[in-house]
Amino acid sequence: MRSRVVLVRHKNVFDNRGRLKRPKVTEALDAGLKALTGDGDSRDSLRRLFDASGAVALKLNCLSGRMLSTAPELTFSLAEKLHSIGIKKSNVIIWERTERELASAGYSLNPRGGDFRVLATDSRGAGYSRSLFVSGKVGSLLSRIMTGIADFAINMPILKDHNLAGLSGGMKNYYGAIHNPNKFHDENCDPYVADVNAFPDIKNKNRLTICDCTRVQYHGGPGYKPQWCEKLGGILLSTDPVALDRIAYNILEELREKHDLKTLKEEEREPKYIFTAGDGEHKLGSCSTEDIDFVEVGLS
């Protein structure tokens, strides 16, 4: 089966002070979901992927502060859409590794529910699994948000350069679900990113990746470096995590070429884990652009 990846770019998503406009973000999300599934209503797109009786965990990336983290405007637009198909607000779980990271990105904690739940693995009652999960060369404890709380997951990373992995996109975002990510950065994180994404509680629960490309850190990452950050005004979506990262790799290289930078391969930072995840025993998705239908949607 062919994989589909959708890039929506909205020319009017930022206001004159550089802040995201929530209605325009919602408009871009709506267009992206419809283009991904072919449905005329984005709620039908979500119904294809999620059972309204289940709990859906939204894995953010909040390591780099407010300017380079998954935008609350995108997160809560998606949360509202999930609620609109019948999922209880308390069953929409917005999460990251630590409460400190969530706060630094502009999220207010709400671990107990009543509204959308916002919590971290280090929140009281969460924590890591007691059992060790082993996949390939990786042995880790996994966040209980993935093992014991969520029925389904949506990965919501940021697209950014990474000084070791080359690219930090969808699959690498699940390093934030394990207790020991620092151990798995050798060899451009290959095969470790692929191994982490092969954990059954990640592989089987993650139904959708929505990558925040409103701002893209094309060099100097993973931290925020404004001199190498582009306001792309985009959202990248796919049900195939490998295909999304493969297209994200192309986008990053296009931005690097635009700004007269070397390729990641020339800098010996090629994200080889993308191809490991697609080929061989992992087979987590499509890593060849020949097997990917890439759809671009422009809004103004």
Q: Is 239 left (phi over 0), alpha (psi -120 to 50) or beta?
A: alpha
Q: Strands (DSSP E) along 121-205, which ranges?
A: 133-135, 138-140, 152-155, 158-162, 166-168
Q: What is the CATH number of the domain that holds 153?
A: 3.40.50.11440
Cβ contact 216:159 at 8 Å: yes
> How many whole angstroms separate alpha carbon 220 and alpha carbon 250?
17
pLDDT grade, residue 113 (50/70/90)? confident
pLDDT grade, residue 278 (50/70/90)? very high
Q: Is 283 left (phi over 0), alpha (psi -120 to 50) or beta?
A: left
Q: What is the pLDDT of residues 73-87, one digit of tens each?
A: 999 999 999 999 999
Q: Is the pLDDT of residue 244 over 80?
A: yes
More confident residue, 299 or 112: 299
- Region 61-72: mean pLDDT is 96
Quickly list DSSP for 9-48.
EETTSB-TTS-B-HHHHHHHHHHHHHHHH--SSHHHHHHH
Q: Is the pLDDT of residue 112 over 90?
A: no
- Region 42-65: mean pLDDT is 97
pLDDT grade, residue 279 (50/70/90)? confident
Cβ contact 76:108 at 8 Å: no
Residue 52's domain spans which residues?
3-299
- Region 202-206: mean pLDDT is 98
Which residues are paired to 162 by β-bridges? 166
CA distances from 14 to 18, 20, 233, 234, 243 (A): 5, 5, 8, 11, 27
> How many whole angstroms separate alpha carbon 171 and alpha carbon 164?
15
Cβ contact 196:202 at 8 Å: yes
Q: Is the pLDDT of residue 285 over 90?
A: yes
Distance of CA 64 to the CA centre of its chain: 14
Q: Is the pLDDT of residue 141 over 80?
A: yes
Cβ contact 262:254 at 8 Å: no
Q: What is the pLDDT of residues 5-15, one digit of tens each?
A: 999 999 999 99
Could you give the residue ranges of the DSSP H alpha helices within the chain? 22-37, 42-49, 72-84, 99-104, 144, 192-197, 200-203, 241-258, 273-278
> How many whole angstroms separate alpha carbon 90 and alpha carbon 189?
35
Residue type at position 251 = I
Q: Is the pLDDT of residue 280 over 80?
A: no
> How many whole angstroms separate alpha carbon 178 and alpha carbon 172?
11
Percent of the chain residues past pLDDT 90, beyond the cut: 98
Distance of CA 7 to the CA centre of its chain: 14
Q: Taking all residues of the chain, what is their mean pLDDT, rounded to a whole number? A: 97
pLDDT grade, residue 281 (50/70/90)? confident
Does the N-terminal peptide bond of residue 191 adopt cis geometry, omega within 30 degrees of 0? yes
Q: What is the rounded (10 degree) CA torsion for 189, 191, 195, 196? A: 10
Distance of CA 171 to the CA centre of its chain: 7
- For the full predicted model, state whether its pTM sits above 0.95: yes
**Domain count across the chain:** 1
Burial label for 138, CB within 10 Å (0-12, 13-18, 19+), is buried
